[in-house]
Amino acid sequence: MTTEFLRVTNLHAFYGESHILHGVDFSVNRGEVVTLLGRNGAGRTTTLKALLGLVGSRSGSVMINGREAIGLPPHRIARLGVGYCPEERGIYASLSTEENLSLPPLVGSGGIAAEELYAMFPNLAERRATQGTRLSGGEQQMLAVARILRTGARLLLLDEISEGLAPVIVQALARTVRTLRERGYTIVMVEQNFRFAAPLADRFYVMERGRIVDGFPAAALPAKMGMLHEFLGV
């Protein structure tokens, strides 16, 4: 049985005077991994931010787990069970690794305990007391993912988690995403790295100029390669 965890309808988003999203429509089922593809500036990162209310203003409808979130402030949206890993990772410099990990409040039950997270990401365990921004890029990315797994969030918004990282770390992150999928997490990824995203996602959406222009399941990927090639240069 598939049930919708996220349904976005006619989502518009603005930063001041600039109109970034022009009516975005898509949905994600419970336990599904969905990737938003598109060129830089197509509006993928803004879509994730708009889901959380982190844009100047927004309109339309965002249903999360059956609740309308368009009128809620960001902290109330997070408490619907949403975990966000921003593109810039957002590791806090004035907090240690451990403080960064335990910073986000619990937003649901069944989060992964800190000790299990340290087992999943052993590098972090060794560097608990280290200032967050002294970690390597890969460690910071692991921390940014780990800290939203502790909270019990069921919908994870992952923005460019493979960006700028060494291949061995990208592989580790791919394994993590697979594990999370097996555990039933619902995941929306924004990815520039098509090779990273392609084997992980159940479905894809393609964005262009602030709209969703195409959507297809992973099985249709081979047939879509020509179009993607044209759109993304992949």
Partner 1 sequence: MTEIFGFPVVVVLGQLVLGLVNGSFYAILSLGLAVIFGLMRVVNFAHGAFYALGAVTALLGLKLLGVNYWAALVLAPLVVGLLGILVERLLLRRLAGLDPLYGLLLTFGIALAIEGTLQQLFGSSGESYPVPEALRGALNLGFMILPRYRAWVIVASLAVCFGTWFVIERTRLGATLRAATENAPLLQAFGVNVPLLVALTYGGGVALAALAGVLAAPVILVNGTMGSSIVIVVFAVVVIGGMGSILGAIVSGLLLGLAEGLTKVVYPEASNIVVFVIMALVLVLRPAGLFGRE
Question: DSSP secondary-structure letter at 218?
Answer: G
Q: What is the dihedral of CA 120, 125, 129, 133, to 10 degrees?
A: -50
CB-based contact 70:21 (threshold 8 Å):
no
Nearer to partner 1 by C-beta: 54 or 172? 54
Nearer to partner 1 by C-beta: 100 or 200? 100
* 54 binds partner 1, rule: CB under 8 A: yes
Taking CA atoms, 56 is separated from 13, 14, 50, 197, 207, in Å, by 7, 6, 9, 29, 20
Which range, of 31-39, 92-100, 198-206, 207-215, touches partner 1 by CB under 8 A? 92-100
Q: Is 44 exposed, middle or buried (0-12, 13-18, 19+ CB in 10 A)?
A: buried
Nearer to partner 1 by C-beta: 21 or 107? 107
Can you name the residues that pair with 64 across neighbouring β-strands? 6, 67
CB-based contact 51:15 (threshold 8 Å):
no
Rounded Cα–Cα distance for residues 231 and 37 (Å) = 9
* 72 binds partner 1, rule: CB under 8 A: no
- Sign of the C-alpha dihedral computed for residues 171, 141, 164 and 233 taken in this order: positive
* 130 binds partner 1, rule: CB under 8 A: no
* 125 binds partner 1, rule: CB under 8 A: no
Which range, of 71-79, 121-129, 174-182, 201-209, touches partner 1 by CB under 8 A? 71-79
Structure-token match 């890993």, residue found = 85
* 122 binds partner 1, rule: CB under 8 A: no
Which range, of 11-19, 88-96, 160-168, 203-211, touches partner 1 by CB under 8 A? 88-96
**Least spacing, CB of residue 93 vs partner 1, in Å:** 6
Contact residue for partner 1 among 31, 90, 208, 218 (CB under 8 A)? 90
Residues lying near partner 1 in the complex (CB under 8 A): 52-54, 73-75, 77-79, 83-84, 86, 90, 92-95, 99, 102-105, 107, 148, 151
